[in-house]
Structure 1
Amino acid sequence: MTDPLSTDPALNRMPTEEDLARLQFTTLLYYLHCTNPDNGLVRDKTHPDAPASIAAIGMALATIPVLVERGIIIRKFAVKIARTRLRFLLDSPQGPEPDATGYKGFFYHFLDIETGRRVWECELSTIDSAFLFAGALTVAAYFDGDSADEAEVRRLANALYDRADWTWACDHGLTLTHGWRPESGFIPYRWRGYDEGLLLYILGLGSPTHPLPPESYAAYTDSYEWRNIYGRELLYSGPLFTHQLSHMWIDFRGIRDEFMREHNSDYFQNSRHATFVQQEYAIRNPMKFAGYGEHCWGFTASDGPGWTKRNVAGIEVEFFDYIARGAPYGPDDGTVSPWAVVASLPFAPEIVIPTLRNFARMNLGMTRLYGFKPSFNQTYATEESDTRPWVSPYHFGIDQGPVVLMIENYRSAFLWNIMRRCQPVVVGLRKAGFAGGWL
C-alpha cells in the first residue's frame, strides 16, 4: 500500500547538513513574517486572527543571534529588532487591571498583537514569562558591543528580567504557581516534578532583585519520578517538549544537581533516554495507530484532529485537539509532531536523522515556508479523502523556536555558549546545586 503522504523520491537523501540549514532558515522565517513591525509582538499561530504569544516572543528574541550568525540579517539591524520588542514590553502597562499586559513583572499568556493588552481572560503565565525572560537574556548576552543600540538592548533586557517578582509568584509557598488571574487570584497548580519548569526555577533563583529561596528548587525536585522504562533508567516526563525546552538555552552536558548526582546521570543524558523511549513506544505501538514505527514518532504538546470519537477498523478511537501528548503512558491518539523530533537532534542524532529523512519523504512541508507542519495523524482520515491523513493547518510560534535553536545547538552549540556567559543562568544553576562540567 502506498503511503498517502509520500511524494518526491528525490527527498530520500534528506537530511544533509545543507538540508538542516535550509530547514532552520525556513523555520526562522516565521518570526520575520508573523511579527508586528510596530511593536515586535509575534503571532501565536498562523491563523490570521491569532493574538501574540508571550512565549513565542521570547523564542523569537532567542533566534535573533542565529539570524545574525547565519547571515540572514546584519547585526546593526538585528539589534534594532530586539530593541523594539524589548522596549515595547518594558513600557507596556503592568498592574492588577484585567486588561493590562502583565503584573508583578510577569506577562499574560496571550496579548492583542496591536495593543499588547491581555486577551481571552487568559492567565498571567509564569512559564511563558520564563521563555520571554530567557529570550531577553539571550540577546543581552549576545549583543555585547559598545554601540548605543547594543548597550540599550542589554539595559532593556535586564530591566525586564529584574522586574519579575518571583517570591510573589510562589503565593506564600515554596514552589512557583502556574500563574494568576485578576478575576480569581493564583491558579491552584504549582510547578512540581520534572518538566519544562526546570528553566523557570533556574531563572527565578538567578534573579538579582526578587530571587526564589534556594529551598524552592528542592521542593520542585521533591516529586521527581525515577523509572525504568523499556530497560532505560530515567527521570520520567511523558511529553517530549518537557525534555527539550530548558535545553534550548542551557547546556546540561556534564553538569549535575543533587538528584542527578545520586543517579549518576545528567539532564542531557536523561533527554537522550527520553528520546529513545519515544521511539521504542512507537515501535511497540500498543494502540496500533497507523504509521507508527522506528522512523515515525514524536509525542508532545501539539495540535490535533479535534475532540471527537471515531470508529477505526471496528474500534472506537478518541481523538484530541491541542493537548500534551506523551509516551509511553499517553495521552495518545495517533498524532505525531515532526518539530519535537527535530528538537531532540542534539540528544540522539542517530535516531533523529533517519526519522527526519522519513518525514522529508512525506508531504509535511520540510522544504516549504516555515518548515514542517507541526503535527499529523495517519489514523484520522480527513473528510475529503479516506486515505488522506489529518495534517495541522497552522504553524505555531512555540514550535518554531525549538527547531531553530536545537538545530543550531546541534550544529555549533552556539546558543549554549552564549548562555554560559549569562550571569543569571550561571547564578541560578549554582544556587540549584549544579556543579561540574563547564560550570
Structure 2
Amino acid sequence: MRPTVAWLAGALLAACSTNHAEGPPPPDSAQAAAFLDTVEAHTFDYFWDLTNTANGLVPDRSPTPSFSSIAAVGFGLTAYPIGVEHGYITRDQARQRVVTTLRFFWTARQDSTTAATGYHGFFYHFLDMNSGARYQQVELSSIDTALLLGGVLFCQSYFSDPADATEAEIRRLADSIYARADWQWFSPRPPVVSLGWHPESGFLAYDWRGYNEAMILYILALGSPTHPVDTAAWSQWTGPYQWGTFYGQTHLGFAPLFGHQYSHVWIDFHGIQDPYMKAHGIDYFENSRRATYAQRSYAAANPGGWTGYSDRIWGLTASDGPG
C-alpha cells in the first residue's frame, strides 16, 4: 500500500489554534470530557451490540429493521480498536470481530449479476444483513466503498502485532481488499470517479466533483497500489469548489455537516494544503472547524423554525429528522 495517508487512532476533537474569536469559547474541560466519554461509549455500543457477528455487517439504522450499510461497516471497523483503547472490549474480541468482517468482504461474491455483494472490488451501498447480497436495486457505490476501506485500512494499521496470526491475517486481507478496487474501471469519464454503477443500466451520469465527503475517495483512488486514477483527478474534483461566508464563517462550502467530517475520521488534515486551500490561507481541518461553527450558528438562528434547533441541538447531516 502506498504511504498516502496517515491513519488516526481516534477522532479529531481539538480545534485549530487560529481564529478562535470566530467561535464561542470552549466549554468547561471536565464537563466536556465527561460528555464526550458518554457519546463515545454509546456510539461504540451501537456497532458492537447490533452488528451481525456471523459476517460483520452493521445495520444502517436502529431500532427499525434495517439492511446493512457498507459505510456503517467502515465506521464499525474503526470503532473496534477505539473500544480496545478505552477498555470497552479486549484486543482479542476486537480482532475476532474484524477478521470475521474482512473474511466476509474478501470472499463475498464479486460479479456483474444482481445477486452479488460487489463488482470490480467495490461493494453495493446496502446489503442484506444476513446473506450479504445486494439489497433491492441499490447502486454499486464508490463513496461508500471508500468509507468501508477507511475502516479496513484503519484496522490494518492498528493490528500490527507480527507474532499474532490473526492480526497478520487482518493485514493481508486489508491489503487484498484495497488492492482489488479498480478505480480506473469506476472512472468512465476519466480522470474523475463516478458516483455509482447499476448492473441493470451501467454507470450513473454523475461524477465526484466539488467539495463534499469524497476527499477520502480521491486519496484512496490516487494512492491505489494497483488501479490508481490519474493525478489530474484532484484538480478536476476541486474545480467546482465554492468559497463563501456562511453564518459568520468564511470557508469552503458544503451544507451537510458529514461532508466536513467523514474524511477526517481517518486522515489528519492539519497543515495539509492543496493549491486551492493554500490560496485561501487555511487547511481542510480549519475549514471543517469553521463549517461546524456555522452549523451551530444556523441552528441557533433556526430560520426554518424547526422544533428543538438551538445552540445546544445542532448539526445537519445525513440522518432522520427533523420530523
Q: Which TM-score tier does this pair reach, normalised by the shorter chain?
A: 0.7 to 0.9
Counterpart position of 1:234: 251
Contact 2:44–2:80 (CA under 8 A) maintained in structure 1 = no
Unaligned runs of 5+ in 1: 1-12, 305-334, 336-376, 378-439
Counterpart position of 2:197: 180
Q: Shift in Å at residue 231 of structure 1?
A: 4.0
Q: 1:145-190 deviations in whole A, cap 9, x for unaligned?
A: 1111111000001100110000111113221111100000001111
Quote the Cα distance in structure 2 between the aligned partners of 1:231 and 1:47. 38
Of residues 111, 121, 133, the one that matches 1:95 is 111
Q: 1:53-80 deviations in whole A, cap 9, x for unaligned?
A: 1111111111111011111221123111
Does residue 249 in structure 1 map to residue 259 in structure 2? no
**Secondary structure in 1 matching 2:186:** helix
Quote the Cα distance in structure 2 between the aligned partners of 1:238 and 1:136. 28
Quote the Cα distance in structure 2 between the aligned partners of 1:39 and 1:267. 35
User: TM-score, normalised on structure 2?
Assistant: 0.87
Of residues 215, 236, 243, the one that matches 2:232 is 215
Quote the Cα distance in structure 1 between the aligned partners of 2:278 and 2:45. 40
**Secondary structure in 1 matching 2:79:** helix
Q: 1:264-308 deviations in whole A, cap 9, x for unaligned?
A: 11111111111121122223333333443333321122213xxxx
Quote the Cα distance in structure 2 between the aligned partners of 1:113 and 1:170. 29
Quote the Cα distance in structure 1 between the aligned partners of 2:268 and 2:197. 30
**Secondary structure in 1 matching 2:175:** helix
**Secondary structure in 1 matching 2:88:** coil
Q: 1:397-421 deviations in whole A, cap 9, x for unaligned?
A: xxxxxxxxxxxxxxxxxxxxxxxxx
Equivalence map 1:38-437=2 (5 Å): 38-47=54-63, 49-146=65-162, 147-304=164-321, 335=322
Q: Shift in Å at residue 32 of structure 1?
A: 1.5
Identity across the alignment (%): 46
Quote the Cα distance in structure 2 between the aligned partners of 1:54 and 1:93. 15
Q: 1:86-129 deviations in whole A, cap 9, x for unaligned?
A: 01110001010011000000000111111111111110000110
Unaligned runs of 5+ in 2: 1-28
Quote the Cα distance in structure 2 between the aligned partners of 1:296 and 1:216. 37
CA 1:62/1:277 → structure 2, altered by over 3 Å: closer, same or farther? same
Q: Shift in Å at residue 216 of structure 1?
A: 0.6
CA 1:229/1:42 → structure 2, altered by over 3 Å: closer, same or farther? closer
Quote the Cα distance in structure 2 between the aligned partners of 1:229 and 1:206. 33
Does residue 34 in structure 1 map to residue 62 in structure 2? no
Quote the Cα distance in structure 1 between the aligned partners of 2:124 and 2:170. 22
**Secondary structure in 1 matching 2:309:** coil
Cα root mean square deviation, aligned: 1.6
Quote the Cα distance in structure 1 between the aligned partners of 2:38 and 2:299. 28
Quote the Cα distance in structure 1 between the aligned partners of 2:90 and 2:310. 43
Quote the Cα distance in structure 2 between the aligned partners of 1:92 and 1:75. 26
Counterpart position of 1:339: none
Q: Shift in Å at residue 48 of structure 1?
A: 5.1
CA 1:162/1:292 → structure 2, altered by over 3 Å: closer, same or farther? same
Q: Shift in Å at residue 230 of structure 1?
A: 3.6
Contact 2:138–2:198 (CA under 8 A) maintained in structure 1 = yes
Over alpha carbons, which structure has the higher Rg? Answer: 1
Amino acid at match of 2:97: I
Q: Shift in Å at residue 143 of structure 1?
A: 0.6
Q: 1:298-331 deviations in whole A, cap 9, x for unaligned?
A: 1122213xxxxxxxxxxxxxxxxxxxxxxxxxxx
CA 1:114/1:287 → structure 2, altered by over 3 Å: closer, same or farther? closer
CA 1:23/1:230 → structure 2, altered by over 3 Å: closer, same or farther? closer
User: How many residues are matched?
Assistant: 294
Quote the Cα distance in structure 2 between the aligned partners of 1:221 and 1:119. 32
